Amino acid sequence: MGDTAASDKHALTKLVKMKALELGFAKVGITSADDFPDHAAELMQREDYQARWCGPKGTNSLLAGCYPRDLFPEGKSIICLLHAYNDIDFPEKLSKHVGRVYQNRSYVPTQEQLAGRRLQAFKDFLSNSGVNIYEGPEELPARAACFRAGIVSWGRNNFARTEENGSFITLYVLLVDADLDIDEPGRPDAEKGKCPDGCRICIDACPTQAMQESGRLEWTKCVLFNNLRGCANIDLREKVGERIHGCDVCQMVCPRNAKALAAPKRKDAFLEVLTEEFDLEKILVLDDAYYETIVKPIMYNYIRDFEIFRRNAAVALGNSGDASHLPALTRALELSEDETTRETIAWAIEKLSR
């Protein structure tokens, strides 16, 4: 590469990184558009993943994302952005029911979320700088890309993490056609981030025993997976507890998150107001107005079917141990016309009546 080309490359890299930090991302790193063979091999070992998410290379979201240049032959670099939310004072009442990343509205944000607008502002900056971004449906392996860009490591609980922010981070990765300076892969942060020998605190704390000794997640046991199905698996209903949208247990108990959790906190005024209005009994009989104002702003990612929300609320109320919810459950049982929801409510009534 000639001196001028190298200097243009350095200049654009600097601009890109400065813009990311200016927009409030906590970290930014850049890796190449090379394949992710280790991630692909791991996916291929998972029979359940293959059945549900992966077809032959190039025909599905997760596996295809391991081969960025097959998706976007012009792709030269992957820009890795990290948003941190360990400094938010998440309301305790809400955190019993909804995972912190969802309360933070930063995970796969829509254009309606502040996080989505910020990401779009960064994309607009790239476009205005003549950089093209791959916008296809396939997902690049965000954790592997951010590790290769040197901005995260990860531990046995599978969550990407940094020293400063722990695992309370959201990752965004953009495959672009710009030739940018590539960062060193995940060292030394990865070395520092390794789990202590013999630590299995997260494995033991998992309410549904979803984590194997190796750290591999049995994803159909994880609380979120069960929430997505309205807690249809009766064997796991009690273990899901009062969580209706995700679970933070394996992050909250991790000693390597202690420093990030001890950082000074600030309140999110929106969450404070939302928490005052948050009521499982209203989700039990969810209607459009309550969905739009209270549920959708923090639970927009996965669930669209109101019956799923209603069933999760029923399970959470049944697991609350608070018999004062029995009248609301009985009313909901009378109102519901959905057979599976009625069965779930009946389960909750039976549990609270013991």
| 63 contacts ligand SF4 (rule: CB under 6 A) | no
Do 311 and 244 meet the contact criterion of CB atoms below 8 Å apart? no
Q: 157 vs 165, which CB is nearer to ligand SF4?
A: 157
| 146 contacts ligand SF4 (rule: CB under 6 A) | no
Q: Going by C-beta distance under 8 Å and a sequence separation of 6 or more, which residues neighbour residue 66? A: 35, 36, 37, 39, 40, 43, 141
| 313 contacts ligand SF4 (rule: CB under 6 A) | no
d(CA 149, CA 143): 10
Q: 147 vs 306, which CB is nearer to ligand SF4?
A: 147
In the complex, minimum distance from the CB of residue 308 to ligand SF4, in angstroms, rounded to a whole number:
18
3-state secondary structure of 206: coil
| 202 contacts ligand SF4 (rule: CB under 6 A) | yes
Binding mask 216-255 for ligand SF4 (x = CB under 6 A): -x----xx-----------------------x-xx--xxx
E-state strands within 106-233 = 153-154, 160-161, 169-176
Q: 30 vs 299, which CB is nearer to ligand SF4?
A: 299
Which among 104, 103, 107, 191 is positioned nearest to 155, based on CA atoms? 191
SS3 for 312-335 is HHHHHHHCCCCHHHHHHHHHHHHH
| 162 contacts ligand SF4 (rule: CB under 6 A) | no
| 101 contacts ligand SF4 (rule: CB under 6 A) | no
Binding mask 253-272 for ligand SF4 (x = CB under 6 A): xxxx----------------
Peptide bond into 141 cis (omega under 30): no
Q: Which of 12, 173, 206, 271 binds ligand SF4 (CB under 6 A)?
A: 206
Binding positions for ligand SF4, rule: CB under 6 A: 155-157, 195-196, 199-202, 206-208, 210-211, 217, 222-223, 247, 249-250, 253-256
